[in-house]
Structures are given as C-alpha cells and as structure tokens.
Amino acid sequence: MYLFRLALASLSNRRFTAFLTVLAIALSACLLLAVERVRTEAKASFASTISGTDLVVGARSGSVNLLLYSVFRIGNATNNIRWDSYTQLAENPKVKWAIPLSLGDSHRGYRVLGTNQAYFEHYHYGRNQALKLSEGKPFEDIYDVVLGAEVAEALHYKLGDHIVLAHGVSTISLVEHGDKPFTVVGILARTGTPVDRTLHISLEGMEALHVDWQNGAPARGEGKISAEQARQLDLTPKAITAVLLGLNSKVATFGLQRAINEYRGEPLMAILPGVALQELWSLMGTAEQALFIVSLFVVLTGLIGMLTAILTSLNERRREMAILRSVGARPWHIFSLLVAEAFALALAGVVSGLALLYVAIAIAQAPVQAYYGLYLPLEWPSRYEWTLLGGILIAALLMGCVPAWRAYRQSLADGLSVRL
C-alpha cells in the first residue's frame, strides 16, 4: 500500500504527462465501451424493428428476402399473394389480426405501402410500441396518405399537401400517377425503423392508382379512369405483397407456419420475423466485429502511450530509484512501484473513461433515440463491459512489467549512487 502511495506521489510530480496518459486511456476505454454499447443496442433495436408480429407471409422465396421487402422496404417481391389467400388467412381462427401489405409504388425515393387500418392498430416495433401519429389522423379516404416522420421532414410536407405518387420504385424515369394526387392527412412520430421512410395509403387507394393500368402501362385515351370515376368501382385488390400475422396463441405459430408453407392454393411462405432478423444480422456481423476490433486497437494504442510515457521517465528517475534503494527499497520494491504506477494510470483512465461514457450517453441519449431509433440506456456496465474494463487493467499491469523490469535492472546496476 505504501508503494502505491509512493507511486501516486511520484505521478503527481509528473502530473502533466500523467494527465495526458490518463486522457488517452480514458478516451480509448470510452470508445471501446461506446462501440460495445451501440453494438449491443443496435442489435437489440434491429431485432425489434418489428415486434408483436408472429408470422410474415409472402410469396415463396427466401426468408431474408421476404423480410427485406416486407419490413425493411428493400428489394422487391418475386410474386404476389392472391386476395383470397389473404382473406383465408385473416379468417383463420388461430389468427388474431392480419395486416395486408401492398408494395410497388414510390414517391421521390420513398416506398409507398398500401395497407389498412389494422396497420395503425397492430404494427408494433421496439419494445412492443405501437405507431403514434405526431399530427393528423390515419387515412380514411381513398386518396389520403400518412407519411413516415423522415419522409415528412426530408420533403417538407405538412398536413393538407397534395402529392403525386410514382409507379415503380426507382428515383428517376418513373411514370407518375399524375391523375390521382393524394392528400397528406397524417404524419407518424419517429420510430427509428423503416416506417419513418414509408408513405402509407389504403389498399383501395393503391388499387385505384392502378385500376386503369394494363400490362404494366397506364391506359391512354378512352381507357382512362379519372380519380372520381375510380371511386365508383369495386376497389378490392386482386393481390397484395405480404401479410403480417398476429396469433391468438404463440403456441400455434409453428403449426400455422407449416400449414401456410403447405398451402395448396398458391406457393406461400411464412417466416418467424425474429429468426429471419437474426439471420440478417449475422450477415452484418463482420462490420460489427471490425468496429469492435478497431476499438480494441485504440485501447492498445492508449496503453502503448502509457508505456512510452513511463519508459521515457525512467532515465530522469534514476536518482529517485537510487534514493529509494538507499532508504531500504529492495529491487522488487522498485519493480512493484512501476507496476503500481502503470496500474494507477490505467485505473484512473478506465474510471474517467466510464465517466466520459456516461456524460456522453446522457447528452446524446435523446437525439440518438430520435434519429437512429437506438435507445442507449444510462445503466451500470454489464458483466461483459466489466470484463472489458478488467481486461484493460490486466493489459496495463502486463505492460507495466516492461518498464518495471528495466527499472529493476537499472536499480541493480546503479546501486545507491547515480552517476549522472
């Protein structure tokens, strides 16, 4: 203990270098923990992009593909689901609710989703949070649209604006549904999920847009049906893209999944969103690993900085060592003194790193939650994080042995006198 006290006193004598060393270690420890925390939370938030949904049903393809287009609005469906398949599913006694999803159109790069009221009621994300409207109301009329938060913000739309949707999903070259403009009636609150980047219209609206289309091209001349004329028609869709299902009992999930996969009417596929999300996340695992490894190297850099600082101090401290030897310090005392010094630096670094992390989280928590949908909790370090911090301290102890060994040799050679 006395040696530790001596080490601290000696460090305070070199407080500027010591401060910089501690700062370097603190920043690197903070970075490591921040990366770790964001990583964990990103994974958790990714896994909760959609929650409460038991099965996602689409045309038979790959499970990741189905998840990508139905939940993340990335890519396209290979095929559609017939409307009667959807009604059969919705009426299945095991099914509590069903959300039909119809995709294919876009507006200035943002996807348009055709759905019904069930979406606002049953679509959950995060920790089972329902969608909330920050302004307006859900769509009622055929030509109403509800915007995701990011769409409204990026394109500066407000309630009552009229917008024209485009056919297809690329940003340019699109044939526009210019004859049937939509009115913004609602804007959703931010969720940090793909919902923010989506325009929601009713299935009937989706159908009305395409009612006069033939073979993937708009009708010309005679065949044209105006917006008002379309209202008179039966706008029940013939096909949709995917269905989200909530079941009465989770136990029924696998049974229903099998039943859907074996459905005779058309080739369908049902997936468990959680499983597919895991699969998708594992694809991104490499980037996440890389980030983690980079931050480990940053920690290593911080520790090497400490090593350099202690090693360069050794020469000017030969006298200090000789004095300690003359008052009775054994060479192993000198060794322990330097290890204690390294440990003290690393400990101070780790503690300030933690403090830095909590300050950063406290400041960034709200904006990060709003813009990236990441909830960074202000909670005690997890067991894993403690392990990382412990690892830093152990690494510092091991590295401290290098200057300690040099000082040990030096003090043996110098004895009680220093020839300077």
Partner 1 sequence: MSVLIELNDLGFAWPGQPELLDIPHFQLQRGETLFLKGPSGSGKTTLLGLLGGVNKPSRGMVRLLEQDLTTLSAARRDHFRVDHTGYIFQQFNLLPFLSVQENVELPCHFSALRSQRAKERHGSQAEAARALLSALGLGERALGERRAGVLSIGQQQRVAAARALIGQPELVIADEPTSALDADTREAFLNLLFAECRAAGSSLLFVSHDQGLASLFDRSLSLLELNRAARPAEV
Q: Write out the residues near partner 1 by the rule CB under 8 A.
A: 2, 6, 9-10, 12-13, 319-320, 323-331, 333, 415-417
132 vs 409, which CB is nearer to partner 1? 409
Asked if 406 and 355 count as a contact pair (C-beta separation under 8 A), the reply is: no
CB of 301 to partner 1, least distance (A): 28
Which tokens belong to 158? 């407000």
Q: How far, CA to CA in Å, does 410 sit from each of 180, 326, 414, 417?
A: 87, 14, 6, 11
Nearest CA-CA partner of 303 in 108, 33, 112, 27 = 27
Helices (H) and strands (E) counted in the chain, each on its own, are: 13, 15
Query: Measured from the CB of residue 305, what is the shortest distance to partner 1 in angstroms?
Result: 22
Shortest Å, Cβ 350 to partner 1: 24
Of residues 108 and 333, the one with the C-beta less far from partner 1? 333
> For residues 10 and 53, which CB has a smaller minimum distance to partner 1 in the complex?
10
Closest CB to partner 1 among residues 6, 240: 6
**Min. distance of Cβ 315 from partner 1 in angstroms?**
15
What residues contact 305, with CB distance under 8 A and at least 6 apart?
Answer: 20, 21, 24, 25
Nearest to 197 by CA among 375, 372, 374, 376: 372
- For partner 1, give the closer residue by CB, 251 or 327: 327
CA 89 to chain centre: 32
How many Cβ atoms sit within 10 Å of the Cβ of residue 92?
17
Report the nearest approach of partner 1 to the CB of residue 13 (Å).
Answer: 4
Cβ nearer to partner 1, comparing 371 with 405: 405
Cα–Cα distance between 332 and 329 in angstroms, integer?
A: 8
Contact 92, 260 (CB under 8 A): no
Give the separation between CA 131 and CA 144, rounded to whole angstroms.
18
Nearer of residues 250 and 419 to partner 1, judged by Cβ:
419
Q: What residues pair up with 412 in beta bridges, in sequence order?
A: none
- Contact between 67 and 189 under an 8 Å Cβ cutoff? The reply is no
| 293 or 323: CB nearest partner 1 | 323
Shortest distance, CB of residue 26 to partner 1, whole angstroms?
A: 23
Q: How far apart are CB 343 and partner 1 at their closest, in Å? A: 18
CA dihedral 106, 107, 109, 114 (to 10 degrees): -40
By C-alpha distance, which of 414, 399, 369, 330 is closest to 44?
369
Torsion of CA 244, 274, 294, 21, to 10 degrees: 100
Cβ at position 309, least distance to partner 1 in Å: 16
Chain centroid to Cα 150, Å, comes to 16
Q: How far is the CB of 15 from partner 1 (least distance, A)?
A: 10
How far apart are CB 403 and partner 1 at their closest, in Å? 18
Question: In which residue are the tokens 């921040």 written?
Answer: 34
Secondary structure class of 63 (helix, strand, coil): helix
User: How far apart are CB 398 and partner 1 at their closest, in Å?
Assistant: 24
Tokens of 179: 């004859």
8 A C-beta contact, residue 238 and residue 83: yes
Compute how many other C-beta atoms are within 10 angstroms of the C-beta atom of residue 319. Answer: 12
